[in-house]
Amino acid sequence: MQIYIEKFQLRDVMHEPLLNHLRVVTYQKGDIIIQQGEQPAFLYFLVEGRTKVFASSDEGKKLILAFNGPFSVFGDIEFIQQAPYLNTVEAITDVTLLKLSLPIVQQYGMQHLPFVTFILNTLTRKFYSNADAARFNLMYAVEVRLASYLLSMTTEDESVSIHHLRDAADLIGTSYRHLNRIIGQLTDAGYIARKNRAIHILNRDELYKLAKQNIYEER
């Protein structure tokens, strides 16, 4: 616990009462940390591992909104707004989080300017990148979104494991079938190649042009 407080400099934004109520909690790969629609109970801080955030519609359509690593905050909007969780948060690796129960946050955190300012900054960053992502999804075709996705998932010379391809389909908001079709097109164009259940990027520059400089950012 102390180590996380040091590592993420939580003393800068929380005072004693809050720090004292922080609890460590762990989840295993695949566990649901926050379930869309439920009443919020805690504020979470991701300190170890990776998560994905997605929303489901009644019809079962999924839409992935973000991948997260440390240090990320969950449940802030819902806490402030006093409304049910908007999205589901799932562990994609084993994860460690710190949590604060909401009455505690209300009682101690909201009186403490550094903490409120911290939440404000967190929220704003989320807002900004969310707005970007939503706009991007709405305005561009799957081809552009895929290019963008591939770029943001890989660094120079890396490849995307096929295992994440269904996730990729959800993330960019299309069907698996159609994703395959577009992969085919990009392959024909010589930008990428399928090999050993993975996608290799052959021509990063062209992909970048296609993606119109827009890329999904990890938050």
Partner DNA sequence: GCTTCATCGGGACAAATGTCCTTTTTTGCT
Partner DNA sequence: AGCAAAAAAGGACATTTGTCCCGATGAAGC
Answer for which of 121, 161, 166, 218 binds its own copies (CB under 8 A) is: 121
**144 forms part of the interface with its own copies (CB under 8 A):** no
**142 forms part of the interface with DNA (CB under 7 A):** yes
Answer for which of 23, 29, 197, 212 binds DNA (CB under 7 A) is: 197
Pick the piece of the chain touching DNA (CB under 7 A) from 68-76, 93-101, 119-127, 158-166.
158-166
**12 forms part of the interface with its own copies (CB under 8 A):** no
**211 forms part of the interface with DNA (CB under 7 A):** no
CB of 175 to its own copies, least distance (A): 13
Q: Which does 137 bind (CB under 5 to 8 A by kind): DNA, its own copies, none?
A: its own copies
What number of chain residues touch DNA (CB under 7 A)? 19
CB of 5 to DNA, least distance (A): 40
User: Rounded to whole angstroms, how far apart are CA atoms 89 and 101?
Assistant: 17
**127 forms part of the interface with its own copies (CB under 8 A):** yes
Q: Measured on CA atoms in the order 198, 61, 147, 190, is the torsion positive or negative?
A: positive
Q: Which does 175 bind (CB under 5 to 8 A by kind): DNA, its own copies, none?
A: DNA
Cα dist. 181→52, 142, 184, 187 in Å?
25, 10, 5, 10
Q: Which does 138 bind (CB under 5 to 8 A by kind): its own copies, DNA, none?
A: its own copies
Q: Measured on CA atoms in the order 84, 110, 217, 130, is the torsion positive or negative?
A: positive
**182 forms part of the interface with DNA (CB under 7 A):** yes
